[in-house]
A and B are shown apart, each in its own frame.
Chain A
Amino acid sequence: MSKSHIELTINGKKVEALVEPRTLLIHFLREEQNITGPHIGCDTGHCGACTVEMDDMSVKSCMTFAVQADGANITTIEGMANPDGTLTALQEGFREMHGLQCGFCTPGMITRAHRLLLENPDPNEDEIRNGIAGNLCRCTGYVNIVRAIQYAAEKMKESPVQEAAE
């Protein structure tokens, strides 16, 4: 199959690659770029385990072709931590509030919550629940995920952080 040339930024790093037109972004990231934080939970766009940031939007990378990411700026969970390597308020919040169990949904969940808080730094519980409705978690029952996001929102009010990889 003929391949297309793409150029994009992943977690702040310029990447060039040849990809088949049908290669999904999630497979490109996981198989070719060794970025295994985003997971595959359903292949149908329902679970959100594969969520990444693409040009300031939360995107389900199993529903996106790699060629669509040509020229894009992509951030995954691997690009979320603070520049000094410490955990962000969200990552810390998930740990403090026990917002994860098996951890499989967590990279997508945190990536999604990151965007949610950038767009709405002070969400109420309903807004949080609706904001993460595209991300399924089989383990936690969501109560503690909501608490984790609230924890991060509080903490970020005290010391707002810059958007990652920008």
Chain B
Amino acid sequence: MNDQVKVDEDRAERVEKLQGMGCKRKRVEDVRFTQGKGNYVDDLKLPGMVFGDFVRSPHAHARIKSIDTSRAQALPGVVAVLTAADLKPLDLHYMPTLAGDVQAVLAEEKVLFQNQEVAFVIAEDRYIASDATELVDVEYEALPAIVDPFKSMDDDAPILREDIKDKMEGAHGPRKHPNHIFEWEIGDKEETDKIFAEADVTIKEMLVDHRTHPSPLETCQSVASFDKITGDLTLWGTFQAPHVIRTVVSLISKIPEHKIHVIAPDIGGGFGNKVGAYAGYVCSVVGSIVLGTPVKWVEDRMENLSTTSFARDYHMSTELAATNEGKITAMRVHVIADHGAFDACADPSKWPAGFMNICTGSYDIPTAHLSVDGVYTNKASGGVAYRCSFRVTEAVFAIERAVELLAQKLDMDAAELRLKNFVKAEQFPYKSALGWEYDSGDYHTAMNKAMEAIGYDDLRKEQAKKREAFKKGKTREIMGIGISFFTEIVGAGPSKNCDILGVAMFDSAEIRIHPTGSVIARMGTKSQGQGHETTYAQIIATEIGIPADDITIEEGNTDTAPYGLGTYGSRSTPVAGAATAVAARKIRAKAQMIAAHTMEVHEGDLEWDVDRFRVKGLPEKAMTMQEIAWTAYNSPPPNMEPGLEAVNYYEPPNMTYPFGSYYCVMDIDVDTGVAKTRRFYALDDCGTRINPMIIEGQVHGGLTEAFACAMGQEIRYDEMGNVMGASFMDFFLPTAVETPHWETDFTVTPSPHHPIGAKGVGESPHVGGVPCFSNAVNDAYSFLGAGHIQMPHDAWRLWQVGERLGLHN
């Protein structure tokens, strides 16, 4: 064996030992989770802890005439009953929302949606608390409810928010009506209108991305413990953004921030549900302050689905203009956004409609105009990003459905139309008509790879045959081919345009190397199942050459972790992942100085080799990172501070723009409306891949949630504002039986501005998956002249489409 081979083998061995970036490292978290030793909020027990439960409104809109808590207070075991009257003197009956509105913690004069919080009962155990909620007597005078967002701004519409009815200047500019929240507008209206007036071909459709809910398997919950002696408040909870919660709690409770200790332990899924602040958190805090004992609040599933943070409810009038040859020349979108009773969207403050302006998608559309009107209705508040960056699922749904409708109108193949209009690889960085700068992409390569993998041409041939057979009455099954090609915008974000309540959306990492060469690192983000304890360690391992198994990752304790904005909008890898790499590089730079001094050479004479610095040309002269760590503490160079640690607060220069090409093949029985997904192929490009196993898992999970949203999941209201089906009996969560098989694939186009080139992946499959399923259904029915079919596409609704088209006669 020659020397070079030996060196390479030795190097490969050392690389493998690191378990760094690019390897399918098994998850650290799983050791405790598979043994039932996870530590979730409801697992927490504190001495003297009592339980809170809400009295909720049966009405969607009603005036509260009286609240009598005496019967509840008299029940043995009840320790307190809070109403708005108790919170008002503390100025806590309203709390600020992330969107610049206020939200009632406990309803004062009116209730504005069904199941709104009216009183908070605290008792010695959860059964008594629940009993006592039924003993609180509330007298209501029912009022007419607004359920249809298109009626919110009618002249004769009842005014919902009396608390702000005279405030005609909202957080995002002037309000046109007491039930109006904001109007947000971007793009060149005049030019867009002109292009539409002169266009060869245009399409226009009302595309509804219906109201749904993220529904993680663990609901929202908190435990507050206030120490009356020291004035310290410790708050455990299901927080995707624990530091933001600490700041918000400080602002509303007036407890100084250093006296507040927010801890997010293991979280049983988030998907956007656990970003905001909820009445339950506030009431557990107030309860604990009043009583001086720990108070636990645990939401049940019905409460979760009907109160804390719905998603979507975007009604998008979407238009495209194009030439006869199929070149898209302009896009025009107007959205009515149903925000429910309070504007509690979890968007960066300057973006009341999130990043909806990514709606020009993956296409080089020269001119566009987008306007969004947010309105109040008598429904729960929220508007969270359900497994997506802010309003990106809505945006991608709009463009990907619109492109299909345009293809139909032009009688052109939908894949061909996309290929014709893609932003080309050489156009990156690409400035979109609505103001974004896409960092990198190679859409044609991804699309071509996907078309080949799925066998696109053959599928279209098969479909043509099936359609003939259907027309001849030989089959009752129709076949749909769904395509979606999405561009996401994640990793919020640069401080020039992204903040939450004024806090810039940086993120952070602090890495500390111990003298024996093992590591603890803490982040400002918070995993809810994404496997951060595993992947951040891989980044550090590769950057500083210490095995991932020797690195502990800690998140969620705001006393020890550096301030960060948390985990949502796929921002952990783009922002905190970058902070991790930068902090690690600072450590490596110091390590290099130490190594140079110790080996008595110039820094420039050293080269980095996996886990050590070597002297160039003298390969046996080297210092491993472990040796350097010991030296850093015990014999650092003169004039150098001992120790080996670094912090980085990373301010991203731009967002990242993951993309992907998805295909779905579906067979639908027109008589039953049952749709079967025959194949689903997902090609994702998330830039550099840190852990392919975890990426694949994220894609599987995101696709399953996309399948749920597109094919059945919905939060529905009747005309009186009663929420329909807020339990797992009716709310569609696919089991292993309905869930399709997922095929995954990838290309790699690194982000040029990210230290390791990674873009984030957790939400792509959801964003790309929803329109792919809907396109498959719509494509199946298109030859029958169905027009646009709204989601969700459950069997009942598809059966109705068959009825409408006269297919059942």
Write the residues of chain A forming the contact surface with B, with a CB cutoff of 8 angstroms. 20, 22-23, 27, 30-31, 34-44, 46-47, 49, 76-78, 80-81, 87, 91-92, 94-96, 98, 100-107, 110, 128-130, 132-146
Closest-CB distance, A21 to chain B (whole angstroms): 11
A77 near B217: Cβ-Cβ < 8 Å? no
B216:A138 contact, CB within 8 angstroms: yes
Q: Is the CB of A138 within 8 A of B34?
A: no
Closest B residue, CB atoms, query A107: B36
Residue of A nearest to B691 (CB): A98
User: Closest 10 CB pairs between A and B?
Assistant: A37-B36, A102-B529, A104-B268, A103-B33, A141-B700, A77-B36, A101-B529, A46-B728, A141-B704, A36-B43
Say yes or no: A44 contacts B218, CB within 8 Å.
no
Query: B5 an interface residue at 8 Å Cβ cutoff?
Result: no
Task: Let me know if B29 and A143 touch, CB within 8 A.
Answer: no
Q: How far apart are the CA atoms of A130 and B738 in the complex, in Å?
A: 10
How many Å lie between the Cα of A23 and that of B37 in the bound state? Answer: 24
Q: Does B319 contact A (CB under 8 A)?
A: no
Extra inter-chain contacts (7) besides given A46-B727, A102-B529, CB under 8 Å: A76-B36, A87-B35, A95-B31, A103-B38, A104-B40, A104-B218, A142-B736
Contact status A140-B697, CB under 8 Å: yes
Residues in chain B within 8 A of chain A (CB atoms): 26-27, 29-38, 40, 42-43, 45, 125-127, 215-219, 266-269, 271, 298, 300-302, 528-531, 693-694, 696-697, 700-705, 727-729, 733, 735-737, 739, 741-742
In the assembled complex, which residues on chain A have CB atoms less than 8 Å from the CB atom of B219? 41
Q: A89 to nearest B CB, angstroms?
A: 11
Contact of B301 among A27, A41, A96 (CB under 8 A): A41
Set of chain B residues within 8 Å of A132, measured between Cβ atoms: 735-736
The contact of A143 among B40, B269, B700, by CB within 8 Å, is B700
How far is A101 from B691 in the complex, measured between Cα atoms in Å?
Answer: 14
Contacts A47-B217, A76-B36, A103-B33 given; indicate if A144 touches B697 (C-beta within 8 A).
yes
Alpha-carbon distance between A108 and B210 when the two chains are bound, in angstroms: 31
Asked if A103 and B29 sit within 8 Å, CB to CB, the answer is yes
**B residues within 8 A CB of A102?**
216-218, 266-269, 528-529
Q: Which of B38, B43, B727 has the most CB of A within 10 A?
A: B38
Are B741 and A105 touching (Cβ within 8 A)? no
A41 partner, pick from B30, B217, B693, beta carbons under 8 A? B217
Q: CB distance B733 to A94 under 8 Å?
A: no
Residues in B whose Cβ lies below 8 Å from that of A128? 736
**Complex Cα spacing A156 to B302, Å:** 40
Residues from chain B with a CB closer than 8 A to the CB of A36 are: 36, 40, 42-43
Question: Are B704 and A142 neighbours in the complex by a CB distance under 8 Å?
Answer: yes
A87 to B727, CA, bound (A): 35
Q: Check B737 against A81 for contact (C-beta < 8 Å).
A: no
Chain B residues closer than 8 Å to A41, beta-carbon distance? 217-219, 268, 301
Q: Are A101 and B736 in contact (CB under 8 A)?
A: no
Q: Which residues of B contact A43 (CB under 8 A)?
A: 300-302
- In whole Å, how far is B275's beta carbon from the nearest beta carbon of chain A? 15
Can you name the residue of chain A whose Cβ is closest to the Cβ of B216?
A138
Secondary structure call for the A interface: loop
Give A145's nearest chain B residue, CB to CB: B736
CB of A81, distance to nearest CB on chain B (Å)? 6
CA of A139 to CA of B729, assembled, Å: 19
A70 to B271, CA, bound (A): 39
Please indicate which of the listed interface residues A78, A96, A98 has the most CB atoms of chain B within 10 Å of its own CB: A98
A94 and B280 CA atoms in complex are apart in Å by 34
Contact B33 A39 (CB under 8 A): no
Pairwise interchain contact B736-A138, C-beta atoms closer than 8 A: no
Contact A139 B735 (CB under 8 A): no
Residues B530 and A101 in contact, CB atoms below 8 Å apart:
yes
Q: A38-B36, A106-B34 are in contact. Are A129 and B268 (CB under 8 A)?
A: no
Q: Bound complex: CA of A139 vs CA of B302, how far in Å? A: 20
Query: Quick check: B218 and A39 within 8 Å, CB to CB?
Result: yes
Q: Can you list 18 A-B contacts (CB < 8 A)?
A: A23-B127, A30-B43, A37-B36, A39-B42, A42-B727, A43-B302, A44-B728, A46-B728, A87-B34, A92-B34, A95-B26, A104-B218, A130-B736, A138-B269, A139-B529, A140-B704, A141-B739, A143-B741
| Min CB gap A141→B, angstroms | 3
Whole-angstrom distance from the CB of A162 to the nearest CB of chain B? 18
Return the contact of B727 from the options A44, A49, A98, A137 (Cβ within 8 A). A44
Closest to A76 in B: B36
CB distance from B756 to the nearest CB of A (A): 22
B268 and A77 contact, CB distance less than 8 A: no
Nearest residue in B to A142 (C-beta to C-beta)?
Answer: B736
Contact B701 A78 (CB under 8 A): no
Q: Which residues of B contact A27 (CB under 8 A)?
A: 126-127
In the bound complex, residues from chain A placing their C-beta under 8 Å from that of B218 are 39, 41, 102, 104
Taking a contact as CB atoms under 8 Å apart, the answer to whether A110 and B34 are in contact is yes
B704 near A103 (CB under 8 angstroms)? no
- Closest residue of chain A to B51 (Cβ to Cβ) is A31
Q: Are A103 and B266 in contact (CB under 8 A)?
A: yes
CA A23 – CA B733 in complex, angstroms?
A: 28
- Tell whether A98 pairs with B693 under 8 Å between CB atoms, given A49-B217, A91-B34, A141-B700: yes
Q: Are A95 and B739 in contact (CB under 8 A)?
A: no
- Which one of A87, A104, A136 contacts B38 once the chains associate, using CB atoms below 8 Å? A104
Given contacts A136-B217, A138-B215, contact A95 B737 (CB under 8 A): no
Q: How far is the CB of B635 from chain A (nearest CB, A)?
A: 41
CA–CA, A40 to B705, complex, Å?
Answer: 20
A141 surroundings in chain B (CB, below 8 A): 697, 700-704, 739, 742
Instruction: Tell me, in angstroms, the Cα distance from A104 to B702 when the chains sit together.
Output: 17
Which chain B residue shows the least CB distance to A88?
A: B34
B269 nearest in chain A by CB position? A102
Chain A residue, CB-CB nearest to B703: A141
B504 to chain A, nearest CB (A): 28
Shortest CB-to-CB span from B572 to chain A, Å, is 14
- A136, B728: Cβ atoms under 8 Å? yes
A136-B733 contact in complex given A46-B728, A142-B704, C-beta closer than 8 Å: yes
Contact, CB under 8 Å: A42 / B728: yes
Once the chains are docked, how many angstroms separate the CA of A144 from the CA of B700? 9
Contacts of B736 in A (CB 8 A): 128-130, 132-133, 135, 137, 142, 145-146
Question: Are A42 and B301 in contact, CB atoms less than 8 angstroms apart?
Answer: yes
Asked whether A98 and B300 contact (CB < 8 A) given A129-B736, A138-B216, A141-B704, the answer is: no
Whether A44 lies near B530 (C-beta < 8 A) is no
Hey, which chain A residues are within 8 Å of B300, CB to CB? 43
Kindly report which residue of chain B lies nearest to residue A49, judged by CB atoms.
B217
Q: Shortest Cβ distance from B526 into chain A, in angstroms?
A: 12
> Do the beta carbons of A40 and B42 come within 8 Å of each other?
yes
Shortest beta-carbon distance from B527 to chain A in Å: 8
A22 touching B301 by the CB < 8 A rule?
A: no
Q: Judging by beta carbons under 8 Å apart, are A104 and B34 in contact?
A: no
Closest Cβ of chain B: how far from A43's Cβ, in Å? 5
| Chain B residues, CB < 8 A from A146 | 736
Question: Which A residues are CB-close (under 8 A) to B35?
Answer: 37, 77-78, 80-81, 87, 91
Residues from chain B with a CB closer than 8 A to the CB of A42 are: 301, 727-728
The CA-CA distance from A25 to B627 in the complex, in Å, is 54
Interface centre among B217, B268, B704, B733 (most CB of A within 10 A): B217
Name the residue on B nearest A136 (C-beta).
B733
Q: A49-B217, A133-B736 are in contact. Are A106 and B33 (CB under 8 A)?
A: yes
Residue on A nearest B707 in the bound complex, by CB: A141
Q: Is the CB of B40 within 8 A of A39?
A: yes
Given A44-B301, A46-B729, A139 contacting B36 (CB threshold 8 A): no
B residues near A95, Cβ cutoff 8 Å: 26-27, 30-31, 34
Residue numbers in B under 8 Å from A145 (CB-CB): 736
Q: Which B residues lie within 8 Å of A76 (CB)? A: 36
Complexed CA–CA distance, A77 and B38 (Å): 11
Q: Is the CB of A103 within 8 A of B737?
A: no
In the complex, the answer to whether A100 meets B30 with C-beta atoms within 8 Å is yes
Q: Determine the chain B residues whose CB is within 8 A of the CB of A23 once the complex forms.
A: 127
Chain B, Cβ-Cβ closest to A126: B737
Q: How far is the CB of A27 from chain B (nearest CB, A)?
A: 8
- Shortest Cβ distance from B529 into A: residue: A102
- CA–CA, A41 and B733, complex, Å: 12
